[in-house]
Amino acid sequence: MNTKQMTYLIETAKTLNLSRAAENLYISQPSLSYQIKVIEEEIGFLIFERIGKSIRLTPAGEELIVSIQRISKELQFSIEQAQNMGQQYSNSIKIGFPARSTLFYLPKAIALFEEKQPTVQIVPEIQPQNDYVNAFLKKELDMILLPKEEAEKLSSVRIHPLYMSYIYLLCQKTDKLAQKKLIKMQDLAERTLLVNGGSSQTLRQVQQRVIANVPIHYYNSPTHDFTLIQVESGKAICLSPGYLNDHSEQFAWIPFDCPEVFNYVLVTHEDNHTPSIKVLINLLRQLYQSSHLPL
């Protein structure tokens, strides 16, 4: 199966209409039908079921399309990065992390890095942690950001300390709690606290301790973005690690009195001694060490 055939399948699966898919692909319907038949004969199973004039994906076809869509996106990304490399860069450093705010100083580090290493491209890969760890283990990434306890589980790596992040109460700036310099557990009495939302084990531990010791209302939040919307609406407050602060000053972030902290490190492959990686790590460390922003 070639890339053009993959495009044919993705478009047909999207429209579930051969005529419309053919029109969108600028080919004739008979040509599209023929190409689908050729692919099905090649792979040995039906991708689409024909029901009168309609079509629908078979269960095997649904699974295939999901994989093809992922492969197509990865291929397009690879082509674009290769084009960038060919035009300006001779090498690259691919770094994986879970959210933009967790490496808040990366853009500034990139600008400083390019002054020192103009032929090396920094490629950010923002993905769920499990995804970028797996990519790193396959050596598809050169560097990743992890909590120290997770990094220590990996073998054949180098661990580079980067920053410590603390827990904060997140609320509206007009909230009376926003006037405090430090939030204690009892300050949350009779308030509504959002919990979970993809929280780490460390944060869930703090949330559960509050719920167990303070008369408080709480409900589950599916994601951090959902949590932010609820806080902005005034319906609730939340506890959040400082590394999720985008420093937009939209909310009040007040330090929360608890012993838990998040120790984040950069992880590189033990056998990778590329000088440019050391340059990037040193720049990031310098930026975090000299930062006055709350973490």
The pLDDT assigned to 255 comes to: 97
Distance CA 66, CA 10 (A): 9
CB 98, CB 126: distance < 8 Å: yes
Q: How far is CA 177 from CA 29, 43, 126, 238, in A?
A: 64, 62, 33, 12
The pLDDT assigned to 225 comes to: 86
Q: How many CA atoms does the CB half-sphere of 73 hold within 13 Å? A: 5
Q: In one letter, which amino acid is 87?
A: Q
Cα-flanking dihedrals φ and ψ of residue 217, to 5°? Answer: -90, 150
Handedness of CA 225, 227, 233, 238 (dihedral sign): negative
The pLDDT assigned to 74 comes to: 80
Residues of the chain with CATH 3.40.190.10: 92-163+266-290, 166-261
The pLDDT assigned to 107 comes to: 96
The pLDDT assigned to 35 comes to: 92
**Single pTM value for the model:** 0.70
**E strands, 184-241, in order:** 192-196, 217-221, 237-241
Look-up of token digits 């390019």: 114
What DSSP state is assigned to residue 256? Answer: B
Burial of 150 by CB count in 10 Å (0-12 exposed, 13-18 middle, 19+ buried)? middle
Compute how many other C-beta atoms are within 10 angstroms of the C-beta atom of residue 164.
14
Among 57, 74, 79, 76, smallest CA distance to 9 is for: 57
Question: Does the domain spanning 92-163+266-290 belong to CATH 3.40.190.10?
Answer: yes
What DSSP state is assigned to residue 248? Answer: -
Handedness of CA 174, 176, 180, 185 (dihedral sign): negative
CB 142, CB 277: distance < 8 Å: yes
Per residue of the chain (295 residues), give pLDDT as tens. 888 899 999 999 999 999 999 999 999 999 999 999 999 999 999 999 988 778 999 999 999 999 999 888 888 877 776 666 556 677 899 999 999 999 999 999 999 999 999 999 999 999 999 999 999 999 999 999 999 999 999 999 999 999 999 999 999 999 999 999 999 999 999 999 999 866 788 999 999 999 999 999 998 988 888 999 999 999 999 999 999 999 999 999 999 999 999 999 999 999 999 999 999 999 999 999 999 888 9
- How do residues 89-121 score in pLDDT, each as one tens digit? 778 999 999 999 999 999 999 999 999 999 999
Q: What is the CATH number of domain 3-88?
A: 1.10.10.10
b (16+ CB within 10 A) / e for 16-34 = ebbeebbeebeeeeeebbe
Residues of the chain with CATH 1.10.10.10: 3-88
Architecture (CATH level 2) of domain 166-261 = 3-Layer(aba) Sandwich (3.40)
